[in-house]
Structure 1
Amino acid sequence: MFQKIKDDFLGLLYIFLEVIVFFLFLWFVVKPFIFPTIPSSLEIQMEAYEKAYGKKMDIPDYLRETLPKN
């Protein structure tokens, strides 16, 4: 009886772990290929500032490091 409970629990645990690994694969491997060019909020703010004022926005170095390298 306990062996069946143990086997059922391990089977459900294995399925749960497979689902978690699958979603992690989708999140970290597939998603960057589907959405590679989504701009960060800082990039959106920089573009809006440039359109509004016609000049580049002054950005501190610690924020400039967070921008993607092109």
Structure 2
Amino acid sequence: MNTLDKLNIGDKMKVKSIQKDSPVKRKLLDMGITPGVEIAVTGKAPFGDPLEILVRGYKLTLRKNEAMVIKG
């Protein structure tokens, strides 16, 4: 199972789960990142943090530690 932070620009993944004990789980769910949704990586900062994603038709920017808990 891959995590969102390991994807490259242009890659897509379908969310399978979000780490249960993550302190950002509620925030991610509220932003529309739920199991079954497709995410596309649209941009990354020079060192990979933060990364820009396209989810449900809008763009979000996530920190690497937030992206690490999203599994596809």
Structure of greater relative contact order (alpha carbons < 8 Å, 6+ residues apart): 2
- Structure (1 or 2) with the greater strand fraction: 2
Structure with bigger gyration radius: 1
TM-score for the superposition, normalised by structure 1: 0.28
TM-score for the superposition, normalised by structure 2: 0.27
